[in-house]
Structure 1
Amino acid sequence: MTSATPVIVYPPDESGGRRVRVDGAILGLAYSTRDVAAFLQEAGLQGWDDLDVVRSSLIEWRGGGPEEWTH
């Protein structure tokens, strides 16, 4: 994953989970910004944390921003 790779966080589902897609592949279901950061670290952005996720323009938040985790 490079810094130009698109990251999409989809709207919350019924359980509050949000699908995280990186470069066209679904990485998993996140329930917090901490989960999103973990997925991005696994995809190659080592050292990312919750604040990086919230502040990054690399991430496209659909159905609400990083503070939205309920359906």
Structure 2
Amino acid sequence: MDVHRPVVVLPPESDGGRRVMIHGERMGTAYSLFDVLDLLHRAGLPAEDRTVDDPELIEWRGGGPYAWNGTT
């Protein structure tokens, strides 16, 4: 069964940023967890520290919430 989450964080790009999609719309590029939380807040979604580990809210592609700058 394909689960659609409201937020998708794409794999790190060459500059270390990760594009963030919310409800299918590109919201911006995050360079840290703080950026992801800021984008969530702007979209009216929960933006608490534990939010980044919520698999029902966020789908992390190409590494989890702690993979930045090409690290996993």
Gaps (5+ residues) in structure 1? none
Q: After superposition, where does 1:40-59 map in structure 2 within 5 Å?
A: 40-45=40-45, 48-53=47-52, 55-57=53-55, 58-59=57-58
What secondary structure is seen at the aligned counterpart in 2 of 1:68?
Answer: coil
| Matches of 2:18 and 2:49, distance apart in 1 | 15
Query: What's the Cα RMSD here?
Result: 1.6
Give the equivalent residue in structure 2 for 1:23. 23
Task: Write out per-residue CA displacement over residues 35-56 of structure 1, whole angstroms, 9 at most, x where no aligned residue.
Answer: 000000000025x133322x21
Structure 1 length normalisation: TM-score?
0.82
